[in-house]
Amino acid sequence: MKKISILLTASILALGVTVCNAQSLGQAADAAGVNCKDGVCEIAPVGSSTGTTLTAQANPYKHAVPDIEGEWEKDVKELGPHDVFDATQGESHAGVVFSVNSPIKNFKVLSLQFKDIDANGKPVFQVKELYTKEVLRPERRLLVKYTFFGSIPNNGFSYTDSNGKTRYYSISQSGKDGSLLFIEF
């Protein structure tokens, strides 16, 4: 009986992940209790009668956001003309190269300190601006050297999008494959 219960739970979890992936890719999903929108999937827990949901969030852009791309410095074959900002807080550091396809305004390098989780399950950070580039242009990339501490993001950036909205992102590294992740907060 215990093996059947474990097998059933694993199957339901696998179905939920598959459905979320299908829905975030714009494909149809037919499982009850799973609702995905804009990369956020809500999955009703097995045997839950309280109506609470577990939320799984994913940045659909991975190492890019709608206006900005980022690469680990070590993965860039030819850097070309660029600016450099050193935001390191110790000897160990990693560089992130930011590039754009069209000019963006008010690009800021941020230091983040985790404070809390809001009612929607999003992290709340204390933000300190370290560097501002009035306009980040396609012909001149920006290399930022960061120090990464632990698994809670301590680095980020912000910029003003084409609609005049300031967008904030934390920067972290995937524990699965080491890829660069930008997560909006």
Q: Kindly state the tokens that stand for 137.
A: 């242009």
Angstrom distances, CA of residue 106 to CA of 49, 103, 161? 47, 10, 9
Which span out of 6-20, 29-43, 139-153 was modeled with the highest average pLDDT? 139-153
pLDDT in tens, 37-84: 444 444 333 333 333 332 233 344 445 677 899 999 999 999 999 999
pLDDT in tens, 7-27: 444 444 444 433 333 333 443
What residue segments make up the domains of the chain, in order of their start?
2-57, 68-184
Helix (H) or strand (E) holding 98: strand 94-100
Nearest Cα neighbor of 128 from 150, 110, 142, 116 is 110
Q: Determine the Cα–Cα distance for residues 88 and 131; give it in Å rounded to an integer.
A: 12
**pTM, full prediction:** 0.64
Burial of 17 (0-12, 13-18, 19+ CB in 10 A): middle
